[in-house]
Amino acid sequence: MKSGYLPMLAKSADGPFSGDEWLFEIKWDGVRAIASVKDELSLKSRNNHELIGRFPELTELLHLAPGTVLDGEIVVMSGGKPDIQSLLPRLHEGGKIPSRKNGPPVTYIIFDILEKDGKSLISLPLVERRKILEKSVSEGPHVIRSVPVVAQGEDYYRAAVARGLEGVMAKRMDSPYEPGRRSDTWLKIMRERTCDCVIAGYTQGKGGRGRTFGALVLGLYEKEGSRDLVPEGGRISPPGSSRQAGPWNAGLVYVGNVGTGFSDKTLGELVDVFTPLQTGIPHFVVNGHGENIVWLEPVVVAEVAFQEVTRDRKLRIPRFIRIRSDKRAEDCTTDQLGEVKGDFRLANRVNEDNYDKGGKRISEGMVQHGEAPEKTPQPGVLKRYQEKRDFLKTTEPEGTKTMTGKGNYFVIHEHHARHTHFDLRLERDGVLKSWAVPKGIPEIPGEKHLAVAVEDHPLDYGHFEGTIPAGEYGAGTVSIWDNGTYDTKLWETDKIEITFHGNRLNGHYVLVPFKRAGKNEWLVFKTGT
């Protein structure tokens, strides 16, 4: 395989869109792989590991696509959509040739061709490469070609999300293939934004997580930085380490912590991974948390979902998705976050105390004009929430003083407690305004359901899922029924009008006080507009 063929990378789009000059295809949740089909078959992951020994069924590429270099995704299909959890055990076989009994067979979905009969095709427009791909690659039991649609990106995105897929890819028809580059001619359109982050350490666990960890400490490398350049005082791998020498923290910057999205099994598995990686040397400054962090060699990568990037360049409302064993830590760079303004390293030393009452940064050179100030919770606003819970027993988030928000995230929790009910939570003024809705959110216009206002919840509750222990407030299982964003038409003490943009819930809704009942009782209903 030609060493220059690193996978081309995509930037994130702000949302779904359509356009005559764009192709749209499914974003498959699997493992990216470049296949070099010559006299022998090579199948390389993003971090240049050879995979063919783990997926021997893909040797059919030798007669389906001779003389080609291809780009595609290895997936396990289950119920008509990719199942990443079924794929990971085969990926971790360590190069052994697994029997079919050890896991389900995979499918290699091909979406690009980089070379044909020794001739490079990467400078050709995508639409021309697609024509060559269709003529050069036959389909088989484990090999298929991706089938894009033209122009209709918004409809295609909605259809993909309705099927439970994670999103779509948008690619300009005239785009060349740019190996190793993150280009705005390829865009990811996701239900949630995601980012591949370096795990720089973790915070000590409490209560039910006392034997594991509280949250992962996340970092990204500066886009302009280089791990090949060791600055004065830079650290290298410890003696006896098998890892390539290089500065552990050259250009590594802090982008936040993630403490939700973990199963009990994942927590235990990660502790086993982290134990041999512990180091006593911090990688960066984390205001207010440094003494509570167990630092790790930055070699493990986590995929994290988040709503957006805050003004001080932290991931807002993050949620752990999975470990990316197919990606190198040094490839996790800040360009995943979009345009970075100002000095990122300085931003990592800034907290909410660096803003004046007008929302402007006090530090010179850090003011970002034209942005509305983010809102933080007023002191004591989460007191009722915190007094009701024993955080040594429950895994619910305590709520952080530095969490900020812009007021457009919603989540609906399905809560299997003594009586099953649903919880509606709307982000507002740095917290989640919350209502218990016994019968769930009505989906028929005009149908009214009771909604009981409860205490405000912290923003990091927005992705909480888990079991609250027996004897604790709200004991039972909590799962996310729907989440997304909402637009505010009106927010007053006697009426709230909003429009939901969720995976399940869409449309215009109204909340009004139910005056014949108690002061905390409201009615929620969907309108026909």
Provide CATH 2.40.50.140 ranges for the chain. Answer: 195-233+246-354
Q: What is the pLDDT of residue 309?
A: 81
Read off the pLDDT of each residue in 394-423 and give the average, rounded to a whole number: 78
Provide CATH 3.30.470.30 ranges for the chain. Answer: 9-191
Q: What is the pLDDT of residue 291?
A: 59
Mean pLDDT, the chain, rounded, equals 80
- Residue 91 host element (H or E): helix 84-91
The sign of the CA dihedral 280, 282, 286, 287 is positive
Q: What is the pLDDT of residue 340?
A: 39
Cα 311-431-323 angle, rounded to 5 deg: 65
Q: What is the pLDDT of residue 362?
A: 28
Report the distance separating Cα 400 and Cα 421, nearest Å: 27
Question: pLDDT at residue 268 above 70?
Answer: yes
Question: What is the DSSP code string of 154-178?
Answer: HHHHHHHHHTT--EEEEEETTPPP-
* Nearest of 192, 153, 160 to residue 483 by alpha carbon: 192
The model's pTM is 0.54
User: Per CATH, is 195-233+246-354 categorized as 2.120.10.10?
Assistant: no
Report the distance separating Cα 168 and Cα 23, nearest Å: 10
* Whole-number Cα distances in Å, 481 to 15, 201, 415: 21, 31, 9
Question: By CB neighbour count within 10 A (0-12 exposed, 13-18 middle, 19+ buried), where does 256 fall?
Answer: buried
Question: pLDDT at residue 222 above 90?
Answer: no
Q: What is the pLDDT of residue 396?
A: 87
Taking residue 16's Cβ as centre, other Cβ atoms within 10 Å add up to 19
Question: pLDDT at residue 400 above 70?
Answer: no
Question: What φ, ψ does residue 384 adopt, rounded to 5°?
Answer: -60, -40
Read off the pLDDT of each residue in 254-270 and give the average, rounded to a whole number: 87
Question: Are the beta carbons of 110 and 143 closer than 8 angstroms?
Answer: yes
Token couple for 294? 């167990």
* Nearest of 251, 262, 271, 331 to residue 299 by alpha carbon: 331
Q: What is the pLDDT of residue 199?
A: 97
Question: By CB neighbour count within 10 A (0-12 exposed, 13-18 middle, 19+ buried), where does 4 fall?
Answer: exposed
* Whole-number Cα distances in Å, 287 to 107, 266, 291, 476, 520: 46, 27, 10, 34, 38
SS3 category, 489 = strand
Q: What is the pLDDT of residue 208?
A: 72
Question: pLDDT at residue 107 above 90?
Answer: yes
Token couple for 338? 């979009």
Question: pLDDT at residue 79 above 90?
Answer: no
Exposure string (b/e) for 242-251, b if CB count within 10 Å is 16 or more?
Answer: eeeebbbbbb
Instruction: Name which of 160-169, 172-181, 233-242, 435-444 the model is least confident about.
Output: 233-242
Q: Which amino acid is residue 507, in one-letter code?
A: G
Quick: pLDDT tens for 473-497. Answer: 999 888 888 888 888 899 998 999 9
Question: Are the beta carbons of 432 and 495 closer than 8 angstroms?
Answer: no
Q: Given pLDDT bands bounded at 50, 70 and 90, which one contains residue 224?
A: low
Instruction: Name which of 100-109, 263-272, 478-487 the model is least confident about.
Output: 100-109
Token couple for 307? 């709503």
Q: Given pLDDT bands bounded at 50, 70 and 90, which one contains residue 250?
A: low
Report the distance separating Cα 389 and Cα 392, nearest Å: 9
Read off the pLDDT of each residue in 312-341 and give the average, rounded to a whole number: 81
Collect all residues with Cβ–Cβ distance below 8 Å to 264 and sequence separation of at least 6.
none
Question: pLDDT at residue 245 above 70?
Answer: no
Residues acting as catalytic residues: 27
Looking up tokens 């119920």 gives: 79
Read off the pLDDT of each residue in 336-359 and give the average, rounded to a whole number: 41
* Nearest of 238, 99, 109 to residue 165 by alpha carbon: 109
* Nearest of 102, 123, 114 to residue 44 by alpha carbon: 114
Quick: pLDDT tens for 165-202. Answer: 888 999 999 999 999 888 999 999 987 778 999 999 99
Q: What is the pLDDT of residue 238?
A: 33
Q: Given pLDDT bands bounded at 50, 70 and 90, which one contains residue 378?
A: low
Helix extents (H) in 217-319: 264-274
Q: What is the pLDDT of residue 106?
A: 93
- Residue 412 host element (H or E): strand 409-416
Q: Given pLDDT bands bounded at 50, 70 and 90, which one contains residue 148?
A: very high
Read off the pLDDT of each residue in 80-89 and give the average, rounded to a whole number: 80
Question: Are the beta carbons of 465 and 497 closer than 8 angstroms?
Answer: no
Question: pLDDT at residue 498 above 60?
Answer: yes
| Strand 466-468 relative to strand 506-513, pairing | unpaired
CATH architecture of 9-191: 2-Layer Sandwich (3.30)
Q: What is the pLDDT of residue 423?
A: 95
Q: What is the pLDDT of residue 229?
A: 33
The gap between the terminal CA atoms of the chain, to the nearest Å, is: 57
